[in-house]
Structure 1
Amino acid sequence: METTDTAAVPQATRTEKPWAVVLLLMVGWMIAFIDRTSMSAAMADKTFIGTFSLSHVERGWLGSAVFWSYAVMQVPLGWVVDRYGVKWPYTICFALWCVATAATAWAESLTGLVVVRLLIGATEAIVLPASYRYIANHFDENRKGSATAVYSMGGKLGPAVGAALAAALIVQYSWKSMFILTGLIGLLWLLPWLTMVSNDFPSKAALAATKRQAGRVPMRNLLVSPVVWSGFIMTFCFSYFLFYAATWMPAYLVEQRHLSMMHSGIYTSVSFVLSAAVALAAGTAADYFIARGHDPVSVRKKFIVVGAFGGMTILFGAYAESQTAALFWNVASLAMVGLATTNNLALSKMTLIPKPAIGLNTGLLTIATSLAGGISASLSGWLLHVGGSYTLPMMSVCVFLLMAVLSALLLMKRKWAPRINDLN
């Protein structure tokens, strides 16, 4: 079945360099993650906890707030980028979330913190639909894995840089200074973005053509496709692990493994950096096999299954008696899941998805990311409260990774890709 459509797809201008833009998109996602997960470092700071008198459960609510609005805005903003382009919707949302991050410093209550986190989540919802729309428009199948791998490094390096940076700023200055600096410095990203990316806001004629093409893959076609549901499940499961690590890993290392704030930030950073490196290698390796004639679906599914089982080794760390062994499995499990993450993104968001619906499908799947973030933060907080240690939260990670394996094997099949309607 045909799963792509080249009509009404904007192409890069002669002055635009797609690989350079992918690198810029990677940095944009990294900044989004820094602003989204900087709260994790704050929630490990005794001064911050004392200022707002936060319980374990309230920390879970606060950690999850950003993901609920992020989920709600995915489909609307996916619809926007499918019709109105990438550049200007991304520009507006980027500026808003950076300002909201800085404004966190002036929150005076738990309610105020939740409100500003909801605003950050709503505006950051543009990131993935816009980014995958750009990659789908400018890269062939045998380069999508590499482009996705480069781009997805932002999702790993963001927590890595954010954990170390936020911890250092809190130790050196205060949690308030941390939010102000991370928010306002991020605005510098807009300078290269505005100069490097071509204006893809459509003319009236182009908008009409784009709407016709997008209408060939209506929401119903996505919702009845097992491929889309498989992508939803896998995206949720892998995101659950990543957001558990981003949200609770610093606190786990401080509270259960007795590391200092600074050392917890370093170990969290190392874990995400290694995961990013493995994800880049896995995406490039998958593209290598695809370019030599192997089936893209089969290749990417194999990487997904191996990576999911590698991530389950986090449970070894939960039962490790020595600090050294616990830290090793903490780092190794997150690194090994990188084998799966890039190939899941390429497979579920582009390989089997018609081009006219890339933004809308990405919005749907990013709802899974958002739900995973919210559920991971709050469920882990509740499991920590119930169990008194981080063993139960780590067990929940393994359960979801097993679900990802079953979803890939049973549902992700070419014959079940979303259908493209004929033009009237």
Structure 2
Amino acid sequence: MPMSKSADLAVMEKPAAPAAPVVATSTLQWVILGLLALGALVSFVDRTSISAALTVPSFKAHFQLSDIDRGWVNSAFFWSYAVLQVPLGWATDRYGVKRPYTVCFFVWCVATALTGLTTTLSALIVMRLIVGAAEAIVVPASWAWIRRNFREDQSGTAVGIYMLGTKVGPAIGAPVAAWLIVAFDWRAMFVLLGIVGLLWLIPWNLLVKNDLPKRVEPGRVEPGRVEPGRAEKAAAAPPMASGKQVRVILASPMVWGSMVTNFCYNYFTFYCMTWMPSYLVEQRGLPLQQMGLYSFFSFIGIAIVALAAGWVADRLIERGYDPILVRKVFTIAGFLFASTVVLGAFADTVNEALFWNVASLSGLGLTTANHLALCRLTLIPKSIVGLVTGFQQVATALAGIVAPILSGWLLQVSGSYNLPMQVIFVFLIIGAFTTALVLRPQWAPRVVETEA
């Protein structure tokens, strides 16, 4: 049976293996992928370290922080992070990954270190804005590099490895920051994290070559294909800076659907980063040490499941199954499994609540690698991955702004964490339905790709 391109969920049938040539992936490419995962880990440690500082009495007294002030400090990162996603996504398509990432990595590490030297609230917020703006490069650059260097039957594993950094980072960020504060103080914590992070730039600049982007123009061709006979016209077309390219992307229902699923996925994960510790302590009565342990298990769980699910999906695709269908099945299964978080909210015992707390976030790992591989690799032409990812990351940043604010308001009006968790359940179900109905190959953006 020929490979099915249908986006409908049906029984997976094994079609004939494609005859496309296989391009070998070098050891260096996997090493650089590990560097990207480590870079993502550094970014999450730097962005979450502030949560530990905001619990320290001397830090709050130094800046004379009220609860409203603490809210502004927490949200400052995501405002600039959201604004710079699309411009920096375009930059990775226009100038390649290596140089923009190098500059931004240096900027956010320096801003993190300088946070330890700030003396006013306004300066503190400015530093958080700078960190958010510079870290906006991480996701678009990483996905652009993965898309250009790994085959379809490797992308799930590649994404799983990369996502280890994005999940281990928040798992260790607050504990590492807390340990440094106890061992030294909050000022030294910021300075040390910023300086140590700069060491990552050494292997990055030694191992990664300058990657030349491609020139593109809109066209009705399959993603990633070169339309014969149009090389001269494509080469003469301007790079991704044109508003015409942006209109092509925004005209794609698939891109809008991916933004919805990105929001739904990240609403849950940002809730876990910001409110799960308080839920475990205030509603389930865990001591701080035990709370940190269960938070760590939850984020390590999603990282392990994401890697395993990506690998299994790759093996199915390698055997000839439709990559779009395979990844959609895993994505929907993850959204549905994660929706069991609502069972933890209404659990009668602490042990039952803790089980669903860890299991629901871990189960979302079925979605993690496969959803992102589908929306940023499988359905997106190589030449516009950075820009499309930038648009998708706006939805991610919006989830980072909305999740803690809305959850806090729901907690205040209801007096319980049950209502915030019910809202999470609703978003996860929306994510599953959107994946099934909207993430279709015929609705993906189309471009003509050719070498510059």
Contact kept, 8 Å, 1:289 with 1:299, in 2: the verdict is yes
1:402 corresponds, among 429, 434, 445, to 429
Contact kept, 8 Å, 2:213 with 2:383, in 1: the verdict is no
Aligned twin of 1:387: 414
Whole-angstrom CA distance in 1 between matches of 2:60 and 2:24:
48
1:352 corresponds, among 379, 390, 396, to 379
Give the unaligned 5+ runs of structure 1.
3-10
Whole-angstrom CA distance in 2 between matches of 1:12 and 1:357:
23
Can you list the C-alpha shifts for 1:269-321, whole angstroms capped at 9, x where unaligned? 22111110000001111111111111111111111111111111222222234
> Structure 1 residues 77, 388: CA separation in 2 closer, same or farther (over 3 Å shift)?
same
Identity level (%): 50
> Structure 1 residues 203, 393: CA separation in 2 closer, same or farther (over 3 Å shift)?
closer
Q: Which has the larger radius of gyration?
A: 2
> Structure 1 residues 202, 230: CA separation in 2 closer, same or farther (over 3 Å shift)?
closer
1:232 corresponds, among 228, 246, 259, to 259
Whole-angstrom CA distance in 2 between matches of 1:401 and 1:131:
25
Whole-angstrom CA distance in 1 between matches of 2:211 and 2:29:
14
Structure 1 segment 299-378 matched on structure 2, within 5 A: 299-378=326-405
Aligned twin of 1:63: 74
Aligned residue type for 1:165: V
Can you list the C-alpha shifts for 1:251-278, whole angstroms capped at 9, x where unaligned? 3333333434443333222211111000
Aligned residue type for 2:388: N
Q: Does 1:296 align with 2:323?
A: yes
Can you list the C-alpha shifts for 1:67-100, whole angstroms capped at 9, x where unaligned? 1111110111111110111111111100111111
Aligned twin of 2:48: 37
The worse-fitting range, judged by mean Cα deviation, of 381-390 and 267-276 is 381-390
Measured after TM superposition, the shift of residue 60 of structure 1 is: 3.6
Whole-angstrom CA distance in 2 between matches of 1:112 and 1:232:
33
Aligned residue type for 2:399: A
Contact kept, 8 Å, 1:59 with 1:381, in 2: the verdict is no
Contact kept, 8 Å, 1:57 with 1:382, in 2: the verdict is no
Aligned twin of 1:265: 292
> Structure 1 residues 104, 188: CA separation in 2 closer, same or farther (over 3 Å shift)?
same
Measured after TM superposition, the shift of residue 202 of structure 1 is: 7.1
SS class of match (2:447) = coil
Structure 1 segment 84-233 matched on structure 2, within 5 A: 84-200=95-211, 209=235, 212=238, 214=240, 218-233=245-260
Higher helix share: 1
User: What is the TM-score with the length of structure 2 in the denominator?
Assistant: 0.84
The worse-fitting range, judged by mean Cα deviation, of 306-315 and 257-266 is 257-266
Whole-angstrom CA distance in 1 between matches of 2:67 and 2:380:
40
> Structure 1 residues 387, 181: CA separation in 2 closer, same or farther (over 3 Å shift)?
farther
SS class of match (1:17) = helix
Whole-angstrom CA distance in 2 between matches of 1:355 and 1:153:
23
Contact kept, 8 Å, 2:25 with 2:149, in 1: the verdict is no
Contact kept, 8 Å, 1:40 with 1:248, in 2: the verdict is no
1:250 corresponds, among 259, 277, 282, to 277
The worse-fitting range, judged by mean Cα deviation, of 346-355 and 371-380 is 371-380
- Could you list the structure 1 runs, at least 4 aligned residues long, displaced by more than 6 angstroms after superposition: 11-14
The worse-fitting range, judged by mean Cα deviation, of 228-237 and 210-219 is 210-219
Whole-angstrom CA distance in 1 between matches of 2:346 and 2:297:
21
Aligned residue type for 2:159: T
Measured after TM superposition, the shift of residue 54 of structure 1 is: 4.7
> Structure 1 residues 95, 62: CA separation in 2 closer, same or farther (over 3 Å shift)?
same
